[in-house]
Each structure stands twice: as C-alpha cells, then as structure tokens.
Amino acid sequence: MTILHVGIVTEVKRLFGFELSAVVASPESPWATSPIGQFTLDNLYKLGEHIRVTEPRARQLSVISRAEGITTGTIQRMPLFTANRATGIRLPAQPSLLVQPERGIPRSTTLRRTARAIFYHPATWWHVTERDAYGWPTFVRYVPQHEARTDDAGRLINAFGKDVNQDDVIDFVNPDGGLLVRGAETIRRSILVDRAAAHAESNPVPSIDLHNDGPDLETTEIDALITRWREARENGGIGYTSKTLKATPLGQPVEQLLIDARKKLELEQARHAGMPAWAVDVELAGTSLNYSNNASRWRDLLNLSAIADVSTIITDRLSLGDVTPATQTVGFDTDQFTRDDMTTRFTAYKLGKDGGFVTNDQIATWEGWASPAPEGSTK
C-alpha cells in the first residue's frame, strides 16, 4: 500500500494504540482539517482488522456488556431441576449436581461463569471431580477458557495443566460459535468508532474554513492562525476573527457522523448479542412495545433472546445420558420471572377449583406453601 498522508499514521498510533506500516486514505475529505478528519468511516472499519477481538474488549461496549449482564444474570437466578421425562413431574429429591455443581462455590456463580463462556465462545466445560455409587456426576469443576487445552476437534484434553479423561468432561457447545465469532467484525468497528468519538468529544473542533479576504499570509502565519483557532475552540469554545477573516463551517461535523455510526453499530451489537433493542436501551426508530405486566415482558425475553439459547444449551447437555438417567430431563425454573400477579393467579385457581381439576394441595404447592401432595390425592 502507499502512504498518502504521513500525519494520519502518527494520528492513528496516538488515538488507537497501534502503528500502521501504510494507510490508504482519500486526500479529499469532507471532515475536519485535523489528521483524524481525513478518515471516512470506511477507513476506520478497515483499521479494525488490527484489533484482536477478546472478551474484555467486547465487554467494554455498553450494549454487549448490558446483553451479557441480562443473559448471565437471569440464568444464575434460575434454579435447575430434574423432572420425569414422560410426565414432567419434578423429582422430590434433586441431584446435588444441580443444587451445587462445585464444592465450596455457590450454584449461581458456577452458572454465571458457564453462561458467560457460552455467550462469548464456541464451547466451555465442566470437569467431573466426584461421582456417586451409581457413577452419576455429583460435583464438577468449571474450566475457564484460559485453563483449557483442546484437540483439533475442539474436545477438552487438558484442564488446569493436567490431562483429563473424556468420560469426565461435560462440554457445553455453542453451535454458532458465540458472540466473539459471529459478531467479531461489528465489535472491531464499534471499538474504533467509540475511540474516534471519544477523541472528537475531547477535541470539539468543527470542520471550518478560515477564509482570508485580506493580504495573503505566509505559511508559518497560516499554521499559527489555525493552531490558535483550534486551541481556542478546545479550551473555551470561543474563537476570534478580524475584519478580513471569515470562519465558515463546512459539511457535517465529525461528531455527528460518529454519533450516527455509533447508533447503527449499537443496533448491530444488540442483534449479534441476541437481545431485543429495548432490553439493552438501544433506540430503534418506528418501534413501540408496551407490556401489560412484568411477567409478559420476561416471557418475551426468556423465549426470544440469548437467554433462551444459552439456557437451552445448558439444560440439553445436562439432560444427556452421561449426566442424567434416560428417564429424567433437566430444566430451569423460570417461575420467579414469569409468575403472574396474585390477583391473576387466584382468579385462575378459582376457575380450576370450580371446574374440579385443581386441588387445594396443588395450589399450596404452586404457591410454595407446602410439600407436593401424594400422588393420587384429590384434596
């Protein structure tokens, strides 16, 4: 490539933290007179190839951080349970693996770490550390990405510096590769635009032509005039023009161009993260969603967002035969999010009792007032 403007190379190093051996830039730009002003959004996006997309960098983007927080925070609050696969009735005694997967670590912590890894990466793992007398897993150890080593097929072969037996690995595989795979390009572009926007905010110099109607100035005088004008604008937003000098704004301010780009990229981030725009506070023109109650809002999130994808990956894997007996299935209890208000619930209970298909014991169980009624009870 050919360097068309050496000043741009210096500016890129200062603003974005890396050097370029060459930069192709248009010598004619509608943006500001500073070196950064010579970039178009297309130039910025091409520079994104130099940014390595990582989990910490992605989390710096507010929309992705919000989407991750909603997804993992919701999953960590939902209890896991086993139920009879044929009838759907929950077992009275739940496996210790679902109550507290890791020794000495709260279930919510293990689930949040697991959900976060699935959200961002192609796979994550639990390593079985203990089994019961029948050979079913009772305790595991969550394996973070930096402590895992895999083979060419993506199978975990080493954890925490020790080789592992494949029979002791519970792998949670994300079929679409996770956010860092499917949203890599959007994340790169968003990081660059955020950095450029931060620079524009701290240096509010609009695109301006200083037109001189008097005698021509020497090159050094022109440079001094431009520098003084820029510094005055940065420090107090006030400039001075003489009788022969006229300041004329040119084109659309760089700040506005970046704002528009950020809005577009925030919407792309939300889509890649599997979150509706309203849930991550992204403005979407022409849409208005009204929910009659909190439960209906949560039902949409649980069914149509990344929460559904990540939770399904977890429960389907834990339902397989190497973890759970074939007669059982694992699920998440979503009742705390989707439960209707008391008036709605008790109206439904009354209809059920009047119809003869709901009992007091069932109501007590659903409300958490008593243990499940014995099978065949007609109370």
pLDDT in tens, 45-94: 455 556 788 999 999 999 999 999 999 999 999 999 999 999 888 898 99
Q: Considering the entire predicted model, what is its pTM?
A: 0.70
Q: What is the pLDDT of residues 329-378, one digit of tens each?
A: 999 999 888 887 788 888 888 999 999 888 988 888 777 775 554 544 44
Confidence band of 24 (pLDDT split at 50, 70, 90): very low
Q: What is the pLDDT of residue 366?
A: 74
Higher-scoring residue by pLDDT: 346, 43: 346
Using CA atoms, how far residue 48 sits from 1, 35, 137, 267, in Å, is: 17, 18, 44, 18
Q: Which long-range contacts (CB under 8 A, 24 or more apart) does 197-202 make?
A: 197/255, 197/258, 197/259, 197/262, 199/15, 199/36, 200/36, 200/254, 200/255, 200/258, 201/255
Q: What is the pLDDT of residue 288?
A: 58
Q: Which of 96-105, 181-190, 200-209, 213-222 has the lowest mean pLDDT?
A: 200-209
Tokens describing residue 258: 């970046």
Calculate the average pLDDT of the chain.
Answer: 80
Higher-scoring residue by pLDDT: 231, 312: 312
Most confident residue range from 22-26, 107-111, 181-185, 338-342: 107-111
Higher-scoring residue by pLDDT: 44, 362: 362
Neighbouring C-alpha atoms within 13 Å toward the C-beta of 191: 23
Q: Which of 20-29, 121-130, 218-227, 242-251 has the lowest mean pLDDT?
A: 20-29
Task: Compute CA 210 distance to the chain's CA centroid, rounded to the nearest angstrom.
Answer: 45
Domains of the chain: 1-43 (no CATH), 56-181 (3.40.140), 208-249 (3.30.1120), 343-379 (no CATH)
The sign of the torsion formed by the CA atoms of 102, 107, 110, 111 equals positive
Q: Could you tell me which residues are beta bridge partners of residue 331?
A: 81
Q: Which residue carries 């997804």 as its tokens?
A: 71
Using the predicted structure, report yes or no on whether residue 324 has a pLDDT greater than 90: yes
Q: Which of 199-208, 259-268, 289-298, 301-310 has the lowest mean pLDDT?
A: 199-208
Q: What is the pLDDT of residues 216-267, one digit of tens each?
A: 888 898 888 888 877 776 665 667 777 788 877 665 555 555 777 888 899 9
Using the predicted structure, report yes or no on whether residue 13 has a pLDDT greater than 80: no
Q: What is the pLDDT of residue 371?
A: 53
**pLDDT above 70: percentage of residues in the chain:** 75
Task: Compute CA 374 distance to the chain's CA centroid, rounded to the nearest angstrom.
Answer: 45
Q: State mean pLDDT over 174-185.
A: 93
Confidence band of 201 (pLDDT split at 50, 70, 90): low
Using the predicted structure, report yes or no on whether residue 15 has a pLDDT greater than 60: no
Q: What is the 3-state secondary structure (H, E, C) of 283-333?
A: CCCCCCCCCCCHHHHHHHHHHHCHHHHHHHHHHHHHCCCCCCCCCEEEEEC
Vertex 282 angle, CA 278 and 285, to 5°: 85
